[in-house]
Structure 1
């Protein structure tokens, strides 16, 4: 059971939802049961049937129903685990986008960017604590039962499964919740979230290797041979954890690189052209202010109105298409692209704040003005931002 914080992109679409069946909403987000869950439910039901038959042989074919009831109980616990993540994430200012029940258990996705180590710690730790609390509740109910029957069997199974899920998720390696807890602790000590992510990611890889070694080595230490099914499940879980840890490390390094991208550094310099000017007058501004053809092309011509408010930016291709004979009679309005209202960015805006602003406020426009204290200092091209993000 994991939480995920999707990385931002310059102009991302709405968060992509997992494919499956929406069964409700929690914390404003859809609850999705993926198609892979049905495969997990089938496999787990079949695996649990022999245990039911060993304890209650009189059930006959009813053992399959009891086994399926256990699977529903297990995934109900997983769901409550994810609900806890979602509620705390929203309380810490995140936008929860989905809760999904999947082949591997479940995940909670949210956006907004964790601002402090405490945020990540609280969002992560509440999931396993929920399972441990459920385990305690099931165990006390089991102990209070006077006889061993099917309901008490389910209580015992609920206690054991929740204890395992809670304890396993507290292992200190990403992508597990314990990994996010470790990330937050290292972040708090070092002041660098990326350091925490990388450390927790590498520990996650050790955990992944340990899961497989446990399935192979423990039986030999006990004088038996490893069971094929146990080894296969351990290998699958280990591969899932290894891939998740690697992705976490990559995303952490990318996040740090993206944090260093600022609007001021990526923006092209500008020359200002008063509203109502002609194309000839705009070109003369560029000619008189900049020497050299190569350096002149680097400047954007921005049309400004009253109080130097940026109105539009000249389209260089459209300007070049205007014949010299008509430049003095062609208004800059005819060859300019208006700025989207509210799209302006400050030159010091950077990282995910910059990307989030562009995604939410650019209105699909490629060019946005960079404004400092009411003065236009540059024009930001979202294509340049995208290239910088890919390079990062």
Structure 2
């Protein structure tokens, strides 16, 4: 099946304290400093079973433990790459994949446009982990005893666990996005889907926090101080992720009220060499809230900055051209007149400015959109 061609994505901003490893599936790959902490922990934890499986390795058992940590996070990377590939299949740019203490994160631009997209972008990650787990299990059954057998056993357990836990139906887990897609499909409302999945995420956080108190009674596992620490970290991750999803959903509910055409100011086109005082007089006469400079053949060339205009003393305005207070229309400063909602927010976030020129499909000027007007409309939205 053919898919729309995508322009190469711009390099993603480097996460604080992260190391860039390269680029894969159209995304920059980063490893945060917290990964080295979990890698060191895994190195120590795996040293004992490696020594037991192949005695006499000495310090090499720690090398084997670190190799396992790298191998494990390569499987986590596969999980995240599957999200990236599916997202790009649906036309969403993917800027970065970051590996960190608790796993990984894929930065996808924009929200899924349908429950179907949401479902497949989310579910492909856990499926990938489960496939890696089952493949590792098949290889483990025929592998010779020793370091390789220990590593494969670890990959089986961790990938099956990651796959199953990620299917828990609560945000920010992949299963939460699956839950969102189902509620969205049934209710017809993505906002409702997010809120339901976020509340499920909070319930999962509470369950994770309580697990150490009941695990010995339910499954016979002796509770240790480390169990309480891990439960606290996981619960905080789930709770904060679910809360952030709720906040995002409430913000996104306001986005449909942001319509470029409705927020645009009436605009007057003037020659670039026209004295500023005359341009202001004409704008007041036409009751225009924006000024655009045009070339001799009528093409827009610059956008007058309201802030710079107001900062120009009135006694100087007859002697300076409009071009002296205008900004050249570079990439991102001209937007389609029909832009609205999330597309509008993304556009002004990519290219921050005080004003933007709205153009019709035929290139004619519709009006000027001021960021201040967008902010005011957003605050006023219920």
Is TM (by shorter chain) over 0.5? yes
- The match for 2:329 among 340, 343, 352 is 340
How many angstroms apart in 1 are the aligned matches of 2:273 and 2:188? 51
2:242 matches 1:245: yes
Q: Which has the larger radius of gyration?
A: 1
CA RMSD of aligned residues (A): 3.4
Contact 1:263 1:345 in 2 (8 A): no
- The match for 2:93 among 84, 92, 95 is 95
Contact 2:293 2:323 in 1 (8 A): no
How many angstroms apart in 2 are the aligned matches of 1:315 and 1:30? 36
Q: Cα gap change, 1:37/1:53 in structure 2, threshold over 3 Å: closer, same or farther? A: same
- The match for 1:39 among 34, 37, 40 is 37
How many angstroms apart in 1 are the aligned matches of 2:324 and 2:189? 47
How many angstroms apart in 2 are the aligned matches of 1:205 and 1:33? 28
1:265 CA drift (Å): 3.2
1:333 CA drift (Å): 3.2
How many angstroms apart in 2 are the aligned matches of 1:131 and 1:226? 28
Deviates more, 1:163-172 or 1:80-89: 80-89
Deviations 1:117-147 (A, max 9, x none): 22222221111111111111122223335x6
1:164 CA drift (Å): 0.4
State how 1:284-363 maps to structure 2 within 5 Å.
284-286=281-283, 288-289=285-286, 299-303=289-293, 309-312=299-302, 318=309, 321-323=313-315, 327=318, 330=319, 333=322, 336-338=325-327, 340=329, 343-359=333-349
How many angstroms apart in 1 are the aligned matches of 2:128 and 2:96? 19
1:207 CA drift (Å): 0.9
1:26 CA drift (Å): 0.3
Contact 1:308 1:376 in 2 (8 A): no
How many angstroms apart in 2 are the aligned matches of 1:88 and 1:191? 23
Corresponding residue number in structure 1 for 2:253: 256
Contact 1:308 1:375 in 2 (8 A): no
User: What SS does structure 2 have at the residue aligned with 1:321?
Assistant: coil
Corresponding residue number in structure 1 for 2:206: 209
Corresponding residue number in structure 2 for 1:366: 354
Contact 1:264 1:346 in 2 (8 A): no
How many angstroms apart in 2 are the aligned matches of 1:57 and 1:315? 74
Corresponding residue number in structure 2 for 1:195: 192
If asked which structure has higher relative contact order (CA below 8 Å, sep 6+), I would say: 1
Q: Cα gap change, 1:174/1:224 in structure 2, threshold over 3 Å: closer, same or farther? A: closer
- The match for 1:142 among 122, 140, 143 is 140
1:158 CA drift (Å): 1.7
User: What SS does structure 2 have at the residue aligned with 1:137?
Assistant: helix
Runs of 5+ consecutive residues of structure 2 not aligned to the other structure: 1-9
How many angstroms apart in 1 are the aligned matches of 2:208 and 2:135? 28
1:92 CA drift (Å): 1.9
User: What SS does structure 2 have at the residue aligned with 1:345?
Assistant: strand
How many angstroms apart in 2 are the aligned matches of 1:314 and 1:152? 69
- The match for 1:183 among 164, 180, 185 is 180
1:368 CA drift (Å): 2.2
Q: Cα gap change, 1:26/1:279 in structure 2, threshold over 3 Å: closer, same or farther? A: closer
Contact 1:339 1:368 in 2 (8 A): no
Corresponding residue number in structure 2 for 1:156: 153
Deviations 1:331-367 (A, max 9, x none): 753665155156333443112212333455x6x6532
How many angstroms apart in 1 are the aligned matches of 2:274 and 2:28? 52
Q: Cα gap change, 1:262/1:223 in structure 2, threshold over 3 Å: closer, same or farther? A: same
TM-score by length of 1: 0.79
Q: How many aligned positions are there?
A: 367
Corresponding residue number in structure 1 for 2:106: 108
Contact 2:115 2:185 in 1 (8 A): yes
Runs of 5+ consecutive residues of structure 1 not aligned to the other structure: 1-12, 291-297
